Structure 1
Amino acid sequence: MGPVQKNRTLIFTYGTLKRGFPNHGLIEDLMLTGDAIFLGVYRTVERFPLVCGPFHVPFLINLLGHGDRVWGELYDVTAKGLERMDELEGTSLGHYERLPIEIFPAEEPADHGIEKRIAAAVGVEAYYAHRSYGEELWRSNGEKGFCRYSEKEASGYVRRTERPQNISFLQQIQLFCSSSSSSTSSPVAVTD
């Protein structure tokens, strides 16, 4: 991986923006205009919780040392691409926040030990669940997550346009957290 060009940012995606997932169309559009470049499959150096919230939306939670090393994809994006991604992730609305994370290439040959791969770690950015609800979302999932947002987790994903429009996404998260913590089975809860 070469140096990042000026006005470009390295973004680690772990959920619906990955290849083959519901929001990857945004990345495909950005790639067509040169505003995003796929750099490969990576994993986080540290363990972080990765959970599903309402509508099977994936959330990386900024609780270092909990959960697993998370798998995802790395993209080099322009300022224009970053603006489009921030908009999708609702950073100005308090849905997600873009923060630093360290990752390493996941596709290194097996004879390269994890220590060598971690030594080659790269600091990039990722979209985390906003700090206003992240820990509560982790508790609502029984402090159980997964290392990869796979087809299994994505199977119940509901696109933004198909969700109830009379309630904000933050309110949906709040309802998800309160219903998950007050009962063990919720119609929108994800269990592993």
Structure 2
Amino acid sequence: MAHVFVYGTLKKGQPNFYRMFDRANGKTEFLASACTTQKYPLVIASKYNIPFLLNIPGQGHRVQGEIYKVDYQMLKFLDAFEKVPTMYQRTLVELEVKEWVGEAEGEERASAGSITKAFVYIATEYQPDWPSRPNYESYDSYGDHGLEYVIREARD
């Protein structure tokens, strides 16, 4: 089992959230809301309005998201879904727990404010102008930015 931090379309209420709980993809358990301990640029880019976390620590915001405990099958699915290693790379980052909800068997419950680690998907390649795009602390496909995510099934 591994801990994965999601910050984009896989979060609750977002277009790909259902994929996290599709049993064909593996097992998932929601553990906590959290944010990165370091600042990172979170941008919306490409013609599909995809959220990308750029590997430029110290710039941007402390990014808000959710921590999930996933089995090996789900981790393998997420790697394929996130197109590792061409589009994203899976990287271990430090997170500050905001609220721990999960009751992961055999794991100690983390308290608010505590630091934990989880894998996150960070963009491997991006256009030179992406770091200068608007940065977001929290991604919402339906936000005021007007850049709604284009789901894969609707793409040309």
Give the TM-score normalised by the residue count of structure 2. 0.82
The aligned residue for residue 67 of structure 2 is 74
The amino acid of 2:118's aligned partner reads V
Greater relative contact order, per chain length (Cα 8 Å cut-off, separation 6+):
2
Tell me which amino acid in the other structure corresponds to 2:13.
G
Counterpart residue number, 2:122: 128
Looking at secondary structure, tell me which structure has more strand per residue.
2
Letter in 1 for 2:122: Y
Contact 2:25–2:77 (8 Å) recurs in 1: no
Distance apart, 1:48 and its partner CA: 0.6
Contact 1:42–1:106 (8 Å) recurs in 2: yes
Q: Report the aligned-residue RMSD.
A: 2.2
CA distance in 1, matches of 2:32, 2:129: 32
Q: In 2, Cα distance between the equivalents of 1:48 and 1:34?
A: 29
| Partner residue in 2 for 1:89 | 82
Deviations 1:106-138 (A, max 9, x none): 238xxxxxxx82xx21111100111x3276522
Shift of residue 33, structure 1, vs aligned partner:
8.0
Displacement of 1:162: 1.9
Unaligned 5+ residue runs, structure 1? 1-7, 109-115, 165-192
Q: Secondary structure at the match of 1:64?
A: coil
Higher Cα radius of gyration:
1
TM-score by length of 1: 0.67
4+ residue segments displaced more than 3 Å? none
What does residue 105 of structure 2 align with?
A: none
Q: What percent of counterpart residues are identical?
A: 31
**Size of the alignment, in residue pairs?**
142
Structure 1 distance, partners of 2:84, 2:129, is 18
Deviates more, 1:154-163 or 1:43-52: 154-163
1: CA distance between counterparts of 2:84 and 2:13? 23
Q: Which residue of 2 aligns with 1:145?
A: 135
Answer 1 or 2: which has greater helix percent.
1
The answer on whether the counterparts of 1:61 and 1:135 sit within 8 Å (CA) in structure 2 is: no
